[in-house]
Copies of this chain bind each other. A is one copy, B any other.
């Protein structure tokens, strides 16, 4: 098994999906051991570092990549398996940013009110206990929270010649910001350009659903991936129109759009088609079934597009083999890498 290690220098960060030359070419089956910087590009390091002064827009949410996957062509499906996601520092940061976030007016949800104050929280990591500590600025208790490391961003180059900021989630993945993107899952992404050109970033030591204030517990990560390629039509599987995630326990689709109901609708229709494919149901039967079994945990309600997850527990379904059993295969392969 090929193993590629890569830690980008600052000048190697990718700030977009598409529009960037690959940092490496990898063959399907390769193990990637990557380091990712945090979404602040490492510029918020203490409670005194406030976004307006410290960040250098638009240089936020740096990505590690892109990687050119040999043989990947439009219509294929990329499978990115997260073997492990581990905090690379002993601290992480979160900030409120003026006119950014889910509970403030923004440049789009434009209001005339004053911005919320800027504030930075630093979370210290206790590796032994597996916790980060929330420390309020005002009154109230410090609270230890279990870490649950994940990547806010994973994506490929977009279709239709577009180049999108790494702040954007859409059909190509990108800044989906779902806590479901944790170690042990496989993310399936439709390929839009030769080589797929995928990258990852935006590690979160933990994140609530919705990512209300716009920033999670943002931290650098050491992440190990397994990359595989599913050629168009293999095993009769349809190319995902929206990013899909498979864990040992569930299958998921992430839709991204505004308003939020459209993110949800996109994820639901994609899941209905997936269920139809896996179970042989017609669309109306799959609609009915999904109505009774879906879990719908939100991902983000703060980004350029909002992201909603439709999730189905495998325990509620007969045994299914998505993409010819790719997830189980990658789990096995990964077992040797941990």
Contacts and interface: CB of A to CB of B under 8 A. Distances in A.
Contact of A207 (B107, B272, B292): B292
A103 interface: yes
Interface stretch (A22-30, A116-124, A223-231, A323-331): A116-124
What is the predominant secondary structure among interface residues of chain A facing chain B? loop
B268 A209 contact: no
A284 B117 contact: yes
Contact of A103 (B140, B268, B296): B268
Contact of A110 (B206, B266, B297): B266
Contacts of A270: 110
Contacts of A19: 19, 161, 163
Interface string A133-162: 010111111010110000000000001111
B114 A113 contact: yes
A206 B18 contact: no
Given A281-B138, A287-B112, A287-B213, A296 B298 contact: yes
A73 interface: no
Contacts of A109: 109, 262, 265
Interface in A195-210: 206-210
Contacts of A34: none
B112 A111 contact: no
A94 B288 contact: yes
B291 A215 contact: yes
Given A103-B111, A268-B110, A292 B139 contact: no
Contacts of A285: 136-138, 140
A58 B160 CA distance: 6
Interface in A63-121: 94, 96, 102-105, 107-117, 119, 121
Contact of A293 (B105, B145, B266, B290): B145
A45 interface: no
Interface string A210-228: 1111111100000000000
Interface of A: 15-16, 18-19, 57-58, 94, 96, 102-105, 107-117, 119, 121, 134, 136-141, 143, 145-146, 159-165, 206-217, 241, 255, 257-262, 264-266, 268-270, 272, 279-285, 287-298, 301, 306, 308, 310, 316-318
Minimum-distance CB pairs A-B, first 10: A259-B259, A208-B294, A163-B163, A296-B298, A209-B296, A260-B260, A58-B160, A136-B285, A138-B282, A140-B281
